[in-house]
Structure 1
Amino acid sequence: MSSQPSATSAATADRRPLGDAGIALGPLDGRYRAAVEPLVEHLSEAALNRNRIHVEVEWFIHLSEQQTLPGLAPLTDEQKAGLRRIVADFGPDEVAELAEIEQVTVHDVKAIEYFIGRRLEALGLAEKTALVHFACTSEDINNLAYAVGARDAIQQAWLPAARAMLESISTMAASAADTPMLSRTHGQPATPTTLGKEMAVFVHRLSRQLRRIEGQEFLGKINGATGTYAAHLAAAPQTDWQRIARTFVEGLGLTWNPLTTQIESHDWQAELYADVARFNRILHGFCVDVWSYISIGYFAQVPVAGATGSSTMPHKVNPIRFENAEANLELSCALLDSLGATLVESRWQRDLTDSTSQRNIGVALGHSMLALSNVTKGMGQLTVAEPVLADDLDGNWEVLGEAVQTVMRAEALNGAEGMDNPYERLKELTRGHRVDGERMREFVQGLGLPQDAQERLLELTPGTYTGIAAQLAAEHGPTRG
């Protein structure tokens, strides 16, 4: 039997390797980099290492300032400024240097310790090298670095993008508050609403989730190998190490977790990711609705100059912004759900499943941010096709059947005669039939309603039968600062 390679495999073997010329494996670091760039400063590997250095440096300073060890003198202002410059000056050259150290240590946090130690002599702190990573386990540094990174990513990148996206929906909710629209419950014509009110529903729901995310606590700990302060007390038994830990964690702008195993329990992360995922899912529903409204002509898409909608059908302007958003929201939720489920468990006092998992926090938030960008752009390319909405309403007068039978019920309770079986009579008139305005008015006039009730119904049209939808959109739809 021949073992000759196929033409396909031979052609593949002859291809020039793409190499490592900055080519990304994932789309967030390639095609979509611009949309997620703000996250790189907080949740990339380089940002994680910078945050680790930040934690180590601040712990060094805190230990000195609090005089935690006998004979430990406070640092000068110049020395503190020099230590903090190690963080501020962390750039591409330092990233490469740290990678070289890690090649030897085969341990990322130990590499951080040595990286800082190399710089102490120039600051006149060579005799204090032992203070770097003092009484710390790696997770003392990692949990705080991740908390700082996640906090800053949410507050400085994700939330601003979410607010901008929400504002684009809120703007439409306000401008279309009075624009009547046929509802569809179960996909069938139903009691009319206004387009703005339906947009406002999503603004209200999404705003509530944002408030939860804005109020999120970011927890941290620094209490040693199994959370007992054992090494701390062995070195300095008279020091109040719980106070030192609490003030340090709070000084980083985090919430102190007083009771842990070796790891900070990550419960706050699971809470945060569940809230972001819920926000994503509500937004996904919004995208599905908007896509559907586009498909029935309620929205017209503003063509982008020079853009191609379809490679073969020139007339098309596809709703790609909302489709792309749907896919990225799904990817984000899948990762956030996985992170939330994985991070709340750890075997006994420590296992390492959280290590590789947490490196995907940026990816999870990145897909969400990409979706936010797509929705914001997509909303900016929509116009409301009011004539289409009006025609749809005018073609469905049967939706007034609800109003007519409800008025009949009310008048029956007021003692009016001839109001028997209102639901059944309207069902006979409307179910399976299209009813125009003339036929509906004839029916109303033949009911024998009191004059004021009859006049109210005769004045109704599908376009005016919207209750207080416009008021609800105005009161609850606009985003609040």
Structure 2
Amino acid sequence: ALPRPPAGVLSRDRGKKKASMSTATLHAIGPLDGRYRGRLDAVSAHFSEYAYIKHRVEVEVEYFICLLRMSPPLPQLASMSPPSDSLIAKLRGIYTEFTDEDAAWVKQTEFKGGAPGGPPLATNHDVKAVEYFLKHKMTQMSSTAGLESLLQVKEFIHFGLTSQDVNNTCYPLMIMRFWRSIYMPKLAHIVTTLDCFSRQWAEIPLLARTHGQPASPTRMGKELMVFVHRLKAQMELLDAVPHCAKFGGATGNMNAHRVAYGDRDWISFANAFVDGLGLQRYQVTTQIEHYDNMAALFDACKRINTILIDLCRDIWTYISQGLFKQKTKAGEIGSSAMPHKVNPIDFENAEGNFGLANAIFGHLSEKLPISRLQRDLTDSTVTRNIGIPFGHTIVSFDALLKGLNKLKIDEKSIRADVDSHWEVTAEAIQTILRREAVDGAYELLKEETRGEVVTEQSIANFINKLEGHATIKLSPGVIGELRAITPSNYTGFFEPGPEVEAWVGSKISKKTAPGIEAAVAECRKGLVGCFDY
């Protein structure tokens, strides 16, 4: 029997989060498989070595089933064509019931050889090892009554294909499934949280700061809604990026298929096969896909992360200004030296991991579309790291959500901050004066306020001077308008717009929407009572 692989190497990680770190995670080189491993089971299920091998097996099996379903059947497959539902179920069971031991068989065949029923020597080729695994499985299955013919047709596993037909179908499949089931729902959770906060705090005035200096007041709800709108726009762009596969033989022309069965429409066959997996097929390629759409997806994810870095820094700043407080948890420590500290560590953690993810997303989108002539191998080692930026992104998403759910707005401090900066009413006053055709209105306010400590009284004194001015004639109504202006009520327009559910229904594709809608509903349940403080 093959030895069970070390925990965390090929594990499916289907169990619950582990309470303590295993030896494997303690010795991991990077934090995704070490410190953060317990948080990333869902990412591992899509991007681990185990997941990659399993997806390869799935693609090979589904391709073989499509060959069996060809009509009229290929002569060599006629005895099993069309395949029975029972045969299809047994073939699909190879990947739906794929085990750690199966993955270990493949790895042993690749690196060492001598796996039971496999070649005695190492293949040193990962896809060929998968092919041998499937032939081994079919040999085992052929001993079952009614499946004897599998032994004669097993050479149609990987028939006419090159490794990249498998790999360049696996990766978009892995990404698409992760993207729909994990990435977009988690991002929607963040957007929904921000949207709820924005509506809850829609009327709370906020002193804006441009260049770090006091500027025209805004509202806390509106500033958070800025991020909601930015994220929605990028999610729409991301949703529009097609998930594409390359499936066309050694140099993209289906040479082997044509030379073997020149009378068949292999282009339509390949299109139907890839479409059946939920992907789109590139029609003209070299040996590998050109990765242009995948690069677009990585760039879109990078932009989303950049927006969220901006959010993290803004909230970090609001916390440092005392406008937000953070809910504390018994037993947690903020500083090893300063007992009073409640640091914004979740936002800092999110920012740091977003940055790491973006560095790798950037390399992926820059490198993958470039390959010498019809193909070099540089994409192979790079694509094996596709899960890394998504792992860092999910760590960031979770940290950001944790931080958002710990926020308590300090409305008293926010209003005190706004009301202590009467200089910001200067814009309002000079705009009304310009409306009334007062010559040099801007300059009047500049002389009165620039570089000066401006108070409610000094503004009142300025308006009193205008009221009794010898040459500036303002009606009592205009004077009343000026006196009514305060920092807290000079906040402009803000309409939150449609809620997240309406946006999903109108802007997000039907294939992506269900996961997002479920996440939005879950988020709303979790937010019940979060403003009770």
Secondary structure in 1 matching 2:325: strand
Alpha-carbon contact 2:25-2:33 (below 8 Å) kept? no
Match among 37, 62, 69 for residue 33 of structure 1: 37
1:358 paired with 2:383, answer yes
State yes or no: 1:77 paired with 2:85: yes
Equivalent position of 2:465 in the other structure: 446
RMSD, aligned CA:
1.5
* Unaligned segments of structure 1, at least 5 residues: 1-17, 413-418
Q: Identify the match of residue 431 of structure 1 among 445, 450, 457.
A: 450
Residue 136 of structure 1: aligned partner: 161
Partner residue of 1:252 out of 277, 280, 293: 277
- Where do 1:305-320 residues align within 5 Å? 305-320=330-345
Determine if the alignment matches structure 1 residue 116 to structure 2 residue 134. Answer: yes
CA distance in 2, matches of 1:19, 1:189: 53
Structure 2 contact 251–374 (Cα < 8 Å) conserved: yes
CA contact (8 A) 1:335 1:364 kept: yes
SS at match of 1:29: coil
Matches for 1:49-448 after TM superposition, within 5 Å: 49-67=53-71, 69-73=74-78, 74=81, 75-103=83-111, 104-121=122-139, 122-123=141-142, 124=147, 125-412=150-437, 419-447=438-466, 448=473
Assess if the C-alpha contact under 8 Å between 1:199 and 1:477 holds in 2. Answer: no
CA distance in 2, matches of 1:130, 1:22: 43
Q: Which runs of structure 1 show a deviation greater than 3 angstroms over 4 or more consecutive aligned residues?
A: 18-23, 476-481
CA shift for structure 1 position 184: 0.3
Could you tell me whether the CA contact under 8 Å between 1:60 and 1:132 is conserved in 2?
yes
| Contact 2:252–2:287 (8 Å) recurs in 1 | yes
CA–CA separation in structure 2 for the residues paired with 1:20 and 1:233: 48
Q: Distance in 1 between matches of 2:440 and 2:457?
A: 22
- CA pair 388-171 structure 1, distance change in 2 beyond 3 A: same
Contact 2:350–2:396 at 8 Å: present in 1 too?
A: yes
Match of 1:475 among 489, 492, 497: 497
Amino acid aligned to 2:247: I
Q: Residues of 2 paired with 1:335 and 1:243: CA distance?
A: 36
> Counterparts of 2:54 and 2:396 in 1: how far apart (Å)?
28
Instruction: Measure the CA separation in 2 of the matches of 1:32 and 1:128.
Output: 45
Identical columns (%): 41
Q: What is the SS of the residue equivalent to 2:248? A: coil
Q: Which has the higher contact order (CA 8 A, sep 6+)?
A: 1
Structure 2: runs of 5 or more not aligned: 1-21, 112-121, 467-472, 505-533
- Per-residue deviation at 1:19? 7.9
SS for the counterpart of 1:72 is helix
Superposed displacement of residue 460, structure 1: 1.4
Q: State the TM-score, normalized to the length of structure 2.
A: 0.83
Q: TM-score, normalised by structure 1?
A: 0.92
Maintained 8 Å contact 2:76/2:153: no
* Secondary structure of the corresponding residue to residue 190 of structure 1: strand
Q: Partner amino acid for 2:43? A: L
Q: What one-letter code is carried by the residue in structure 1 that aligns with 2:363?
A: S
TM-superposed CA distance for 1:72, in Å, is 2.3
Distance in 2 of aligned mates of 1:22 and 1:141: 34
How far the C-alpha of 1:477 sits from its partner, in A, is 7.4
Q: Does the CA contact (< 8 Å) of 2:298 and 2:362 recur in 1? A: yes
Report the number of matched residues. 455
CA contact under 8 A between 2:217 and 2:487: conserved in structure 1?
yes
3-state SS of paired residue (1:300): strand
Deviation of 1:335 (Å): 0.2
Query: What is the CA distance between 1:443 and its match in structure 2?
Result: 1.4
Task: Summarize deviations over 1:47-90 as a string: whole Å, max 9, x none.
Answer: 11111000000000001101452342212211111100000111
The alpha-carbon deviation at position 354 of structure 1 amounts to 0.7
Q: Which amino acid aligns with 2:452?
A: H
Match of 2:50 in 1: 46
Structure 2 contact 191–228 (Cα < 8 Å) conserved: yes
C-alpha contact (below 8 Å) 2:312/2:347 kept by paired residues = yes
Give 1:441 shift. Answer: 2.0
Contact 2:25/2:37 (<8 A) preserved: no
Question: Residue 325 of structure 2 aligns to which amino acid in structure 1?
Answer: A
> Distance between the aligned counterparts of 2:26 and 2:205, measured in 1?
52
CA distance in 2, matches of 1:383, 1:301: 6
